[in-house]
C-alpha cells in the first residue's frame, strides 16, 4: 500500500464524527423519539417511565450528590402506572408497588413534575418542565433513589409535588467520544504521538527480538506469579511486555483472556509501570477489579458507585474519598451539609429556607474543592487505575500519565471510545476476540430509507462504527502484532471442534479438566440419551416447521417488540426447545444451569411464554446479550425455515460463534438444515459438521402437538 492510501488521522476522525452523529440520531429514533411523541402513560406502559411518585427524602450521597428518595404517591389508588380507564387495584399492592418497568440501577433518568391529567395528550411537557437529570442508585418494589448530576435546589421534600421519572437516551456517552475525535481532527501532524503514528500505519511497530525475554531488546526473564498459566498465555504476556507500542491478545471463548490480563498487570507492576486498565462496560472493568483485589495491589476504580458491582465498591474512588485518610477533611463538611438539609425540613418560613439553601450551595462549593484535592492525592498515588473507556475521559484522569493502557474486551468497544484513553498514551495492550460480536451499532441496522447519506472522506469510504480498533489493527499490521490464547477452559471438545476449525485455524485445545465433561458429571443428573451427549442437533428440514413473521398485535399499545421492528418466530421449533428443556430438567439438570438462546426477539418472547413460568431459574436470552457468559447446557433455536432460504441474522458468523461457544457440557441446536445451509459457506460447513458429528434427530411434528 502506498503512503497516500493510508487513512489519515484527521480523515479518520472526520468519518468517526459523522458516523457517531448518525448513531446518536438512530439511538434517539428508538428511544428519545418515543419519549417525545408518547404520553407518560404510554412510556410507563412500555416500561420506560414510572409515574405518580413523591419525594420522601433528600440526602447527600457519595460525591456530595443530592439523592432523591422517591416513593409511590399514597394518595393515588391502584397501580401507579395503570391507565385512567383501569380502575382495578394493583395486583402488586402490598408487595411490589410499581408495575413492570425497565428502569435499572445505573440508568440515566430525568425526574420532573408530572403533567396534570387535564394537560394535552402528547405531554412532552413533562420533559420541558423544570426537572433534573440523574442516575438511578437504587430500585426496590417500594421506591427508587436518584442521584442528581448537579446539586439541585429546586426540588423540595414534602412539597406534595407529584413527580415522574423517565429513562433517557444516553447522549452523555457521545460527548467524550466526540471530544476525542475533534481533538484528533484538529491535531497538527507534528503533534501526533508515536503510538498514534503506529496505530494509523504511518510507522511500523518497533521490531521484537526472536527471544522475547532478551534483557536488552525484550522484556527480560519473566517470573510468573501464577504458575498455572498455560504456554499460550505465558507467550502472550511476554509478547505484551516486550512490545513497545502495541500488542493484541486474541482470546477465543473461554481461553482466559482476563486471567492473562491479571498476570500482565502484576508483571507490569513488578517493572514499576503505571497502568490504566479500561473496558467498554462497567462489568468488564469490575471483573478485573474483582480478580486483581486478592493480589493486594494498590488499585483505584473510577466510576459512579451506582454502576459498580457491590464487591468492588471498596476500591471505588468515590468510596475512598470517604474512607481513606485523605478523606477526613471532606467528611466534616459533608456532615454539615446533611445537618443543613435536615434543618430545612423543620423550617416553615420561606425566607429562612432560602437562606439555608444559599448556605448549602456555598458548602457544596467548598466540598467540591476539598474533594478534588482528596481525589488528586488518591489517583496520583495509585499505580493501577481502572475505569470504563468513557470514564477514562473524566477530569480525575484526563491529565494523568500512564506507561501502559490495557483495554479488555476491545473487540466490543467502538474505536472512538478507545481513543478516549489513547490520546495521551504511549503503549496499548488490547485484549479481545474479533471473531465474536462487535459492539452493537443501531445505525448500521437501519433500513436504507432511514439512513442519511454520509459524506465520508475518500480514504474512509466504507468505514463503519462496528469496525473496531482491534479489527483495524489486525488488517493494518497483520498477525505479527497479536498472540492468540489457544487452550480453552469451558467446552467439551465436541462442542469446541467446529468453531475451532472454522474460525480459529483449528488451533483451540480443550483443557484436560473440561474436554470430556458431560451433564452426567453434575450432581444428581441421571444418565439419559440427552445428558450423556455433548452435541445434539434437531434438524427440522422438510418444511413442517416454518418460521412466522411476528405481526404487531394491532392493539395500538407500544410494546418493546414494536420498538424492535419485525422479528421472526418459529412456534414448532419453540415446541422442540421446550420438550428438550423439560427432558433435561427431568433428568436432574438444574434449570439455572440451562440457557435458551435465539437470535430473534419474537422467538425469545414465544419461548419466554412457554418456559419462564414453569422454570423461573432458566435463562432465556438473545445471542447478543449472552456474549461473555457460559452455562452447563445451552439450547439454541435458529428460527429460520423458509422456501426462499433466507437466513437473516444467521448470516453473521460472529453471532453464531457466540451462540455455539456458551455451553460447557451440552449444546443442543434446533434448526432447518435445508434453509440454513444455503446461507453461506460457513453455515453449510456447520450443518455438515452437525450432520456428521452431532446426535442427529429428526423431530416429527405430530409428536409436538399437545
Ligand X SMILES: Nc1ncnc2c1ncn2[C@@H]1O[C@H](COP(=O)(O)OP(=O)(O)OP(=O)(O)O)[C@@H](O)[C@H]1O
Note the residues at the interface with ligand X (CB under 6 A).
228-230, 233, 251, 253-259, 489, 628
DSSP one-letter code for 225: S
604 in Cβ contact with 630 (< 8 Å): no
By DSSP bridging, strand 487-488 and strand 299-301 are unpaired
Residue 429, H or E segment: strand 428-432
Task: For the chain, report the end-to-end CA distance as a whole number of angstroms.
Answer: 63
Residue placing its CB nearer to ligand X in the complex, 259 or 470: 259
609 three-class SS: helix
The answer to whether 388 touches 175, Cβ cutoff 8 Å, is no
- Residue 264 CB, shortest distance to ligand X, in Å, is 12
Residue, CB closest to ligand X = 256
Q: Minimum distance from CB of 627 to ligand X (Å)?
A: 8
For ligand X, the closer CB: 275 or 484:
484
CB of 630 to ligand X, least distance (A): 7
Least Å distance between CB 268 and ligand X? Answer: 17
Calpha distance 265→109 (Å, rounded): 36
> What nine digits make up the cell of 521?
458429571
Of the pair 439, 457, the CB lying nearest ligand X is at 439
Q: Which ranges of 67-158 does DSSP label H, i.e. alpha helix? A: 125-128
Min dist CB 602 to ligand X, Å, is 27
CA atoms within 13 A on the CB side of 20: 22
- Write out the three cell numbers for 703: 409428536
- Quick one: 49 or 386, whose CB is closer to ligand X? 386
CB nearer to ligand X: pick between 71 and 433: 433
C-beta of residue 635 within 8 angstroms of C-beta of residue 595: yes
* Least distance from ligand X to the Cβ atom of residue 484, Å: 11
Give min distance, CB of 432 to ligand X, in A.
8
Shorter beta-carbon distance to ligand X: residue 318 or 433:
433
Choice between 151 and 251, CB closer to ligand X:
251
Distance of CA 425 to the CA centre of its chain: 24
Measured from the CB atom, the residue of 415 and 433 that comes closer to ligand X is: 433
Return the SS3 of 156: coil
| H-assigned helices in 218-327 | 231-242, 257-270, 282-292, 317-323
By beta-carbon proximity to ligand X, the closer residue of 134 and 251 is 251
Nearer to ligand X, 132 or 661 (CB): 661
335 burial class (0-12, 13-18, 19+ CB within 10 angstroms)?
Answer: exposed
Whole-angstrom distance, CA of residue 164 vs CA of residue 454: 38
For residue 505, the minimal CB distance to ligand X (Å) is: 18
Note the helical H segments in 520-649: 560-564, 571-586, 601-611
CA angle 694, 698, 701 (to 5 degrees): 145
Q: Show Cβ contacts of residue 119 under 8 Å, excluding neighbours closer than 6 positions.
A: 125
Look at residues 293, 319, 291 and name the one whose alpha carbon lies nearest to residue 305: 319
* Beta carbon of residue 252, minimum distance to ligand X (angstroms, whole number): 7
Nearer to ligand X (CB atom), residue 137 or residue 514: 514
CB of 661 to ligand X, least distance (A): 8
Q: How far is the CB of 625 from ligand X (least distance, A)?
A: 14
Minimum distance, C-beta of residue 641 to ligand X, in the bound complex (Å): 30
Residue 294 or 458 having the CB closest to ligand X: 294
Q: Which three cell numbers stand for residue 248?
A: 493484541
Burial 288-319 (b: 16+ CB within 10 A, else e): bbeebeeeeeebbbbbbbbbbeeebbebbbbb
| 276 CB-near residues (< 8 Å, 6+ apart) | 385, 386, 387, 392, 397, 400, 402, 404, 405, 406, 421, 425
Question: Is the Cβ–Cβ distance between 390 and 176 less than 8 Å?
Answer: yes
Cβ 560 to ligand X, closest distance in Å? 27
- Nearer to ligand X by C-beta: 230 or 486? 230
Report the C-alpha gap between 588 and 288 in whole angstroms: 34
CA distances from 534 to 168, 249, 277, 336 (A): 44, 29, 37, 63
Q: What is the smallest separation between the CB atom of 259 and ligand X, expressed in angstroms?
A: 4
Residue closer to ligand X (CB basis): 233 or 533: 233
Closest approach, Cβ 621 to ligand X, in A, equals: 15
Angle (CA) 644 645 649, round 5°: 120
Residue closer to ligand X (CB basis): 70 or 636: 636
Cβ-contact 603, 549 below 8 angstroms:
no
Question: Least distance to ligand X from the beta carbon of 251, Å?
Answer: 4
Rounded CA-CA distance 293/150 in Å is 32
Query: Judged by CB, which is closer to ligand X: 230, or 281?
Result: 230
Amino acid at each position: 500500500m502506498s503512503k497516500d492510501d493510508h487513512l489519515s488521522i484527521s480523515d479518520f476522525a472526520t468519518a468517526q464524527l459523522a458516523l457517531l452523529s448518525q448513531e446518536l440520531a438512530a439511538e434517539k429514533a428508538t428511544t428519545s423519539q418515543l419519549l417525545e411523541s408518547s404520553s407518560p402513560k404510554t412510556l410507563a406502559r412500555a416500561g420506560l417511565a414510572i409515574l405518580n411518585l413523591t419525594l420522601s427524602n433528600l440526602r447527600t450521597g457519595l460525591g456530595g450528590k443530592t439523592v432523591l428518595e422517591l416513593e409511590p404517591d399514597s394518595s393515588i389508588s391502584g397501580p401507579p402506572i395503570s391507565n385512567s380507564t383501569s380502575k382495578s387495584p394493583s395486583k402488586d399492592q402490598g408487595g411490589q408497588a410499581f408495575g413492570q418497568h425497565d428502569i435499572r440501577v445505573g440508568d440515566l433518568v430525568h425526574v420532573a413534575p408530572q403533567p396534570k391529567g387535564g394537560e394535552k395528550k402528547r405531554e412532552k411537557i413533562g420533559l420541558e418542565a423544570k426537572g433534573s437529570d440523574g442516575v438511578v442508585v437504587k430500585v426496590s418494589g417500594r421506591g427508587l433513589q436518584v442521584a442528581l448530576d448537579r446539586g439541585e435546589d429546586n426540588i423540595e421534600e414534602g412539597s406534595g409535588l407529584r413527580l415522574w421519572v423517565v429513562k433517557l437516551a444516553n447522549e452523555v456517552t457521545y460527548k467524550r467520544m466526540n471530544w476525542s475525535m475533534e481533538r484528533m481532527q484538529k491535531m497538527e501532524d507534528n503533534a501526533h504521538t508515536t503510538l498514534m503514528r503506529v496505530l494509523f500505519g504511518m510507522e511500523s511497530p518497533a521490531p521484537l527480538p526472536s527471544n522475547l525475554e532478551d534483557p536488552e531488546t525484550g522484556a527480560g526473564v519473566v517470573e510468573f506469579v501464577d504458575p498455572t498459566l498455560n504456554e499460550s498465555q505465558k507467550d502472550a504476556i511476554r509478547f505484551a511486555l516486550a512490545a513497545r507500542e502495541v500488542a493484541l491478545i486474541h482470546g477465543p471463548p473461554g481461553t482466559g483472556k482476563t486471567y492473562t490480563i491479571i498476570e500482565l498487570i502484576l508483571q507490569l507492576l513488578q517493572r514499576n509501570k503505571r497502568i490504566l486498565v479500561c473496558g467498554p462496560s462497567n462489568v468488564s472493568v469490575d471483573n478485573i477489579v474483582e480478580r486483581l483485589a486478592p493480589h493486594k495491589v494498590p488499585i483505584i476504580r473510577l466510576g459512579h458507585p451506582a454502576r459498580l458491582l457491590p464487591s468492588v465498591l471498596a476500591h471505588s474512588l468515590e468510596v475512598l474519598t470517604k474512607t481513606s485518610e485523605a478523606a477526613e477533611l471532606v467528611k466534616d463538611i459533608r456532615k454539615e451539609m446533611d445537618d443543613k438539609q435536615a434543618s430545612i425540613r423543620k423550617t416553615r418560613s420561606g425566607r429562612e429556607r432560602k437562606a439555608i439553601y444559599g448556605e448549602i450551595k456555598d458548602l457544596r462549593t467548598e466540598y467540591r474543592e476539598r474533594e478534588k484535592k482528596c481525589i488528586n492525592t488518591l489517583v496520583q498515588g495509585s499505580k493501577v487505575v481502572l475505569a470504563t473507556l468513557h470514564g477514562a475521559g473524566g477530569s480525575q484522569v484526563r491529565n494523568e500519565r500512564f506507561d501502559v493502557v490495557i483495554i479488555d474486551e476491545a473487540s466490543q468497544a467502538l474505536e472512538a471510545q478507545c481513543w478516549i484513553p489513547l490520546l495521551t498514551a504511549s503503549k496499548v495492550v488490547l485484549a479481545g476476540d474479533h471473531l465474536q460480536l462487535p459492539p452493537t451499532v443501531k445505525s448500521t441496522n437501519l433500513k436504507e430509507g432511514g439512513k442519511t447519506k454520509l459524506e465520508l472522506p475518500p480514504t474512509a469510504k466504507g468505514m463503519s462504527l462496528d469496525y473496531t480498533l482491534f479489527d483495524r489493527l489486525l488488517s493494518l499490521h497483520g498477525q505479527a502484532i497479536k498472540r492468540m490464547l489457544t487452550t480453552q477452559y469451558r467446552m467439551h471438545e465436541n462442542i469446541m471442534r467446529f468453531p475451532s476449525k472454522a474460525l480459529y485455524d483449528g488451533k483451540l485445545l480443550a483443557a484436560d479438566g473440561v474436554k470430556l465433561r458431560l451433564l452426567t458429571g453434575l450432581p444428581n443428573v441421571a444418565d439419559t440419551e440427552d445428558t450423556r451427549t455433548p452435541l445434539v442437533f434437531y434438524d427440522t428440514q422438510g418444511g413442517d416447521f416454518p418460521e412466522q413473521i411476528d405481526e404487531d398485535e394491532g392493539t395500538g399499545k407500544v410494546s418493546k417488540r414494536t420498538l424492535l421492528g419485525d422479528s421472526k418466530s418459529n412456534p414448532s421449533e419453540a415446541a422442540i426447545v421446550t420438550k428438550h428443556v423439560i427432558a433435561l430438567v427431568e433428568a436432574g439438570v438444574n434449570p439455572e444451569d440451562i440457557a435458551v438462546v435465539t437470535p430473534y426477539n419474537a422467538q425469545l418472547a414465544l419461548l419466554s411464554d412457554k418456559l419462564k413460568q414453569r422454570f423461573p431459574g432458566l435463562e432465556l436470552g438473545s445471542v447478543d446479550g449472552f456474549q461473555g457468559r457460559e452455562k452447563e447446557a445451552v439450547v439454541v433455536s435458529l428460527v429460520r425455515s423458509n422456501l426462499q432460504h433466507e437466513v437473516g441474522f444467521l448470516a453473521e458468523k460472529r453471532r453464531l460463534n457466540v451462540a455455539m461457544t456458551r455451553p460447557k457440557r451440552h449444546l443442543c441446536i434446533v434448526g432447518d438444515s435445508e434453509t440454513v445451509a444455503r446461507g453461506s459457506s460457513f453455515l453449510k460447513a456447520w450443518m455438515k459438521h452437525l450432520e456428521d458429528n452431532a446426535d442427529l434427530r429428526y423431530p416429527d411434528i405430530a409428536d409436538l402437538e399437545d
